[in-house]
Amino acid sequence: MIKTNYLIIGSGVAGLTLALKIANQFPEKTVTIVTKSTADESNTKYAQGGIAIVTDQIGDSYKKHIEDTIICGDGLCDPAVVEMVINEGPKCLKELIEWGTKFDKNNEGTLDLGKEGGHSENRVVHHKDQTGKEIERAILSQVQLKKNIDVLAHHFSIDLITDNNRCLGAYVLNQLNKETITFTADFTILATGGIGHLYGHTTNPIIATGDGIAMAYRAHAEIKDMEFIQFHPTSLYDKSVGPSFLISEAVRGFGAHLRTKNGHFFMLDYDARGDLASRDIVSQSIEKELSKTKDDCVYLDCTHLNMEAFINHFPMIYERCKNVGVDIAKDWIPVVPAQHYICGGIAVDQSGKTSVENLFACGECSRTGLHGANRLASNSLLEALVYSNKIYEFLTNPNLEIKKSLFEIPKVEEIEKSEIDSEYLTTLKVKLQHLMRQNAGIVRYETDLLNAKEQLLEWEKEIEKVGKIHQTNTSYYEFLNMLTIATLIVIQSIERQGNCGGFIKFKR
């Protein structure tokens, strides 16, 4: 058993920011970060466009960013949360810069601000087209300097330990030696990111299996808004399943246009904002075009843009396209929508507290009320930064009482270990991904959702039979979590009345 003061699960922007701030404030206390892959592997690392922040650029205002966020959320945002998050943006940006994050500047020497769908102004601060990688690098290098932070890579959190609606820590599998460790903590924070792998066709890396939300659900925490899955309109089209390369929305902000194979600029047929309509609308419009034309993809045309400026802003996108035979200067980029983000998750209040005592959540795994039915582009990194700060403020309040529990934590039964057949798991996972794409995608039908619910229940029974004994195989736990998340998405989609934002359901 290992005791720590703060157990943080996940090492993306949310987990790392919180760890760093707490460790700075309490040098005598211990902060443990467990993370299931390498320390830097996360959705954060792949973020391209940037962070939406109101700077002192003429024309922009908090009011406008608040309005854009609320319009995008299609009536379901919590206005108090929106106001709080957007007002805190500049403070978070200042901290990131102090920790060594480099953001691009323009010729005047001020921050270069990109534009993305749903934004009425240019307000996206960025580092080329690799903003997330730069943020992850900067914060992680600060974290690694802290003596009181332990970063345990390849440590997979299996489940939370709770007693009487209070979280006491977590069971964690050390993937290197296959030992399960019991961590006890005064406070446990879930910062486990997204769920993309559930759909197979996603912009997320394979670590995004919804583990934190599933663990919180098993601990009886409140989970909300799971039906609001965001599909990014422009992932690079290729026939393979698995993570897809993103073509940032900032490329359309830079002037690129969507066209059909025949060259039609179709977005104005759907929305007066054209290519820069909010993400839900652009993805839904592409879906409609593809079902009309029966084409496999639509195209992003950058051929009219200043290529030198383009390559300077989007070097990674330019190179990646070149590697697959697309010369952006001459060719249109083939693109399709792909799963990108989950707007719902573990319900938290404005201090990041979940409904389970001593358990907090921040970043993509949480549901704060900021995004409503559809997230505004580049508001996710912002939300993660603001909420890790909110949790920090709560945990460093001098009046905060640390209640000790007398509960005797059950030890993990070490003798009951087995490796489940990996081929069997892979087959089931592929079937699950197919089911989610077909039955819980951009457009959903009531009967498909009901069928999916039944199928998921069957798989749950099947996997329970084969997996009764304690496993040392993380794919088994990931698959269980994916099943739980799929069921939550499907059930909450069935329950949702009325279409809004990224959610469209028809009776059939």
* Cα 307 to chain centroid, rounded: 31
Residues 6+ apart with CB under 8 A from 463: 428, 479, 480, 483
- Strand ranges in 59-178 using DSSP code E only, listed in sequence order: 113-114, 124-125, 149-152, 155-163, 166-174
Selected from 42, 69, 354, 368, the binder of ligand FAD by CB under 6 A is 42
Instruction: Tell me the CB-side half-sphere exposure of residue 84, using CA atoms within 13 A.
Output: 20
Per partner kind, with CB cut-offs from 5 to 8 A, the member of ligand FAD, ligand SIN, none near residue 42 is ligand FAD
Q: Would you call 279 a catalytic residue per the annotation?
A: yes
Among 123, 279, 437, 444, the active-site one is: 279
Q: Of 148-167, which residues contact ligand FAD (CB under 6 A)?
A: 156-157
CA 258 to CA 256: how far, in whole Å? 7
CB of 81 to ligand SIN, least distance (A): 17
Selected from 157, 380, 405, 481, the binder of ligand SIN by CB under 6 A is 380
CA distances for 1 relative to 218, 401, 410, 411, 472, angstroms: 22, 24, 11, 9, 18
- Of all helices (H) and strands (E), which one includes residue 3? strand 2-9
- Strand ranges in 130-270 using DSSP code E only, listed in sequence order: 149-152, 155-163, 166-174, 179-190, 223-224, 229-236, 257-259
Phi, psi of 100, rounded to the nearest 5 degrees: 105, 10
Binding mask 240-259 for ligand SIN (x = CB under 6 A): --------xxx---------
3-state secondary structure of 92: helix
Selected from 4, 5, 8, 12, the binder of ligand FAD by CB under 6 A is 12
Selected from 276, 321, 377, 391, the binder of ligand SIN by CB under 6 A is 377
Per partner kind, with CB cut-offs from 5 to 8 A, the member of ligand SIN, ligand FAD, none near residue 74 is none
Q: What letter does residue 398 receive in the DSSP assignment?
A: T
Q: Does 317 bind ligand FAD (CB under 6 A)?
A: no
Q: Does 36 bind ligand FAD (CB under 6 A)?
A: yes
CB 502 within 8 Å of CB 229 = yes
Sort strands 155-163 and 166-174 into parallel, antiparallel or unpaired.
Answer: antiparallel
Binding mask 260-299 for ligand FAD (x = CB under 6 A): ----------------------------------------
Binding mask 52-81 for ligand FAD (x = CB under 6 A): ------------------------------
The end-to-end CA distance of the chain, in Å, is 53
Instruction: Give residue for tokens 């508001």.
Output: 379
Q: Does 378 bind ligand FAD (CB under 6 A)?
A: yes
Per partner kind, with CB cut-offs from 5 to 8 A, the member of ligand SIN, ligand FAD, none near residue 101 is none
Size of the residue set binding ligand SIN (CB under 6 A): 8
- Picking from 133, 208, 36, the residue whose alpha carbon sits closest to that of residue 381 is 133
Q: Toward ligand FAD, which CB reaches closer, 16 or 302?
A: 16
Q: Toward ligand FAD, which CB reaches closer, 51 or 463?
A: 51
Q: Of 131-150, which residues contact ligand FAD (CB under 6 A)?
A: 131-132
Per partner kind, with CB cut-offs from 5 to 8 A, the member of ligand SIN, ligand FAD, none near residue 301 is none
Residues in contact with ligand FAD by the rule CB under 6 A: 9-15, 34-37, 41-44, 46-51, 131-132, 156-157, 191-194, 203-204, 207, 211-212, 246, 341, 363-364, 378-381, 384
Residues marked active site are found at 279
Q: Give the footprint of ligand SIN on this chain (CB under 6 A).
A: 48-49, 248-250, 377-378, 380
